[in-house]
Structure 1
Amino acid sequence: MRIGKQSNPYTAIATSDAHSITVRGRDLCHDLIGKIGFSDYFWLLVIGQPPSDAQRQMLDACLVSIAEHGLVPSVQAARMTLAAGPDAWQGAMAAGLLGMGTVVAGSTETAGRFLHQVLQDATDGDLEAAAQDHLTQLKIDNLKVPGLGHPQHAGGDPRADRLLAICDELGLSGRYVGVLRAIASQAPGIMARPLPINVSGAIPAVILDAGWPLEALKAVPLLARAAGLSAHLYEESLRSIGFIMSHQADQAIDYDGALSGRETRGAEDQ
């Protein structure tokens, strides 16, 4: 991204005048509102063209698969923020989305870029050789394999299995699903442990094969988790657990720092 003087002062997303609002070349009120579903609109907004039926189904499946994931750190951050400021839904939502890093949810982008790199390095289309080279380097560097492994679903992430099955059924599986499967087939032998495909590996493979741009990959988990966070924030506003979580943290985490003189004397007196 260029910083400083810009040479292309244009946007192709939306414009308006006194009589109409245009989004991606379509009249918002006459062509879109009430006539298009939100997933179709999301695709249209990002890419500029509406999705095919198969593309929409694949996007919907990805969004549904990760919209909700329990009380992960990003959800806890959002709920505790709302507990501390009940009028600050926007702040609580932002806290949750900002907590989506390379470990939780943002791992989708990491895996997608890894798949893309392996594909680019596949000489003459040899996915197996490229996968082997990259996995070997990860082992040398003592790094995890993006998109593989799960602490709970060691026998296979059911969300990933379902997404890949849908992609096959829709006829969308292509290079990215192919390279993911090549990596998954070789990883256990090279890394010497079970490494099933997880949902963060399946999502980029299926949605990139569906035609979604790599540069906008993070938008998919962000939109999905915004829906899940909305549910948690609504529940938090009705029956708050934010301070309960905070209290549990106080109880669960022991202090191992230096003691003050007063604390030391108190311990000796006992």
Structure 2
Amino acid sequence: MKIGKATVPRSAICTSDDETIVVRGHNLCDDLIGKVGFADYFHLLVTGRKPDAMASRVLEATLVAITEHGLVPSVQASRMTYAAAPDALQGAVAAGILGCGSVILGASENAGRLFLRIDALARDSGVSLQEAATTVVRELRQAKQAIPGYGHPLHKARDPRVARLFAVAQEAGTSGHFVRIAETVEAVLPELTGRDLRLNVSSAIPAVLLDVGFPATALRGVPILARTAGLIAHLAEEAEAPIGFALSYQATREYEYTGDVPAGWSPKAAA
């Protein structure tokens, strides 16, 4: 992230007067409300242009694919926060989104940057995608860095969302270039890592989005946006059928203290 030299705050996203609200050059009320879907509006906000049919379909599919993920840590954090502070929905949503890092949700951006790096190496050096993927993955391994977007604790074969996203992208008419890069990485991983690590949804999302020109700088925003909707659903359920404290009780029941204790003290004696 660069620190800019601007001394005057400027933005090309929105302006307004007492009669009109303008968003990315469009009259919000006349041109957008009731006329564009939310995914297309998100694309407009991020890129400054409405998506074509291909980009629209692919972006919509990625948002649907990643919105719900069960009781993952971010969802548990959100529900437990809401249980403790039911008057602050925004705080509970924030608690879940703050867990967007290199393991949960943030892997999409990291995988996208991996694909861009491989693409650049292949183009600049004139080598094949396989050679470029092998070089980059080997460098990551030597640096003891994870390969983002590959492997899954549950889906040992390919994550089922991968095939569906790739099918949607193909049906929409994308070039499939970054999908091929993603699959090339998958193909070279067994020899380089000794493990059969398959594509998961966090690599499929950037592959199909990069193929429709979605900016790499906003890749992490796609799962964040999608997961926000999922968190709100969980919190609506939490309000009607609370499990936030049950989640904390389960953690307490399994808790094991491993630190030092005062001389002569034991849990049994304390009881």
Is the contact made by 2:169 and 2:176 (CA closer than 8 Å) also made in structure 1? Answer: no
Contact preservation (8 Å) 1:173, 1:206: no
Over the aligned positions, Cα root-mean-square deviation in angstroms equals: 1.9
Report the equivalent of 1:135: 137
Amino acid of the structure 2 residue aligned with 1:63: L
Residues 155 and 233 of structure 1, relative CA distance in 2, 3 Å threshold: same
The count of aligned residue pairs is 269
In the other structure, the counterpart of 2:176 is: 174
Aligned equivalent of 2:231: 229
Alpha-carbon deviation of 1:141? 3.5
- Note the alpha carbon deviations across 1:186-238, whole angstroms, 9 max, x for none: 11222222111110011001011111000111110011000100100101111
CA distance in 1, matches of 2:214, 2:166: 16
- Counting aligned pairs with the same residue, the percent is 48
Q: Is the 8 A contact 1:80 1:242 kept in 2?
A: yes
Report what 1:82 is aligned to.
82
Partner of residue 155, structure 2? 153
Corresponding residue SS for 1:22: strand
- Distance change (3 Å), C-alpha of 1:196 and 1:14: same
CA distance in 2, matches of 1:28, 1:73: 37
Deviation at 1:136, TM superposition (A): 2.1
Q: In 2, Cα distance between the equivalents of 1:187 and 1:94? A: 35
Partner of 2:221: 219
**Residue matched to 1:187:** 189
- 1:89-140 per-position Cα deviation (integer Å, ceiling 9, x unaligned): 0100000000111101111111111111111112225211111112222333
Q: Distance in 2 between matches of 1:166 and 1:4?
A: 39
Query: For 1:145-180, what per-residue CA distance to the aligned partner results, in whole angstroms no more than 9, with x for missing partners?
Result: 222111211111100111112112212133322211
Cα distance in 2 between the residues matched to 1:38 and 1:148: 29
Q: 2:102 maps to which residue?
A: 102
Query: Which residue of 2 is the match for residue 18 of structure 1?
Result: 18
Q: Which runs of 4+ in 1 moved over 4 A?
A: 266-270
Question: Is the 1:78–1:96 Cα contact (8 Å) retained in structure 2?
Answer: yes
In 1, Cα distance between equivalents of 2:183 and 2:24:
36
> Residue type of the partner of 2:258?
D
> What is the TM-score normalised by the length of structure 2?
0.93
Q: Distance in 2 between matches of 1:269 and 1:154?
A: 46
1:256 equivalent in structure 2: 258
The unaligned stretches of length 5 or more in structure 2 are none
Gaps of 5+ in 1: none
- Report the Cα offset of residue 185 of structure 1: 1.4
Give the Cα–Cα distance (whole angstroms) in 1 for the partners of residues 162 and 211 of structure 2.
15
Question: Is it true that 1:164 corresponds to 2:144 in the alignment?
Answer: no
**CA apart distance, 1:261:** 4.1
Out of 182, 199, 202, the residue aligned to residue 200 of structure 1 is 202
Contact 1:78–1:93 at 8 Å: present in 2 too?
A: yes
Q: Distance in 2 between matches of 1:228 and 1:94?
A: 12
> For residues 258 and 28 of structure 1, do their structure 2 counterparts lie closer, same or farther at Cα, with a shift above 3 Å needed?
same
Tell me the TM-score normalised to structure 1 length.
0.94
Do residues 51 (structure 1) and 51 (structure 2) align?
yes
Give the distance between the partners of 2:168 and 2:60, measured in 1 at CA.
11
Partner SS, residue 22 of structure 2:
strand
Q: Distance in 2 between matches of 1:35 and 1:261?
A: 72
Shifted more, 5-14 versus 150-159: the winner is 5-14
Look up the match of 1:114.
114
1:38 equivalent to 2:38? Answer yes
SS at match of 2:205: helix
Query: Judging changes above 3 Å, is the alpha-carbon distance between structure 1 residues 239 and 142 closer, same or farther for their aligned structure 2 residues?
Result: same
| Equivalent-residue separation in structure 1 for 2:107 and 2:2 (angstroms) | 26
